[in-house]
Amino acid sequence: MPKRLYCDTSSVTYLNKDTRKVILDLPEGEKLNFKAGQYLEIILPDNRCPFSIASSPHETKSLELHIRPTPQSRGSLEIEKLINSSQKICIEAPIGKCYIEKPPKHSLLLIAASTGVTQMKSIFEYLMHIGHVGDVFLYWGVLSDSDLYLDELWKTWERQNKHFRYIPVISKPETSPHWQGRTGLVSNAVLQDFKTLQNLIIYVSGGPDMVYATRDAFKAHGMREHNIFSDMFSYLPR
Do residues 156 and 121 lie in contact, with contact meaning Cβ atoms separated by under 8 Å? no
Domain membership of residue 102 (yes or no) is no
Last residue of a domain, one of 30, 62, 95: 95
Tell me if 219 is assigned to some domain: yes
How many other C-beta atoms can be found within 10 angstroms of the C-beta atom of residue 4? 10
Mean pLDDT of 7-14: 96
Same domain, 54 and 153: no
Confidence of residue 2 (pLDDT cuts 50, 70, 90): very high
Residues 34 and 144 occupy one common structural domain: no
Given 52, 69, 95, the domain boundary residue is 95
Looking at 39, 72, 95, the residue that finishes a domain is 95
Same domain, residue pair 201 and 119:
yes
How confident is the model at residue 105, as a pLDDT?
Answer: 92
Strand partners for 108: 136, 201
- Whichever domain contains 53, its CATH number is 2.40.30.10
Same domain, 121 and 227: yes
Inter-helix orientation angle 151-160/117-129, to 10°? 30
In a domain, 103, yes or no: no
Q: Are residues 167 and 125 in the same domain?
A: yes
Residue type, 92: E
117 inside domain: yes
User: Which CATH number do you get for residue 167?
Assistant: 3.40.50.80
Host domain of residue 9: 3-95
When comparing pLDDT for 182 and 80, which is higher?
182
Residue range 87-103, pLDDT digits in tens: 899 999 999 999 999 99
What predicted TM-score, i.e. pTM, was given to this entire model? 0.96
Residue 129 belongs to some domain of the structure: yes
Q: How far is CA 210 from CA 53, 58, 181, 197, in A?
A: 20, 30, 21, 18
pLDDT tens readout for residues 154-198: 999 999 999 999 999 999 999 999 999 999 999 999 999 999 999
Whether residue 189 sits in one domain with residue 217: yes
Same domain, 31 and 84: yes
Residues 34 and 78 in one domain: yes
Considering its fold, how many domains does the chain have in total?
2
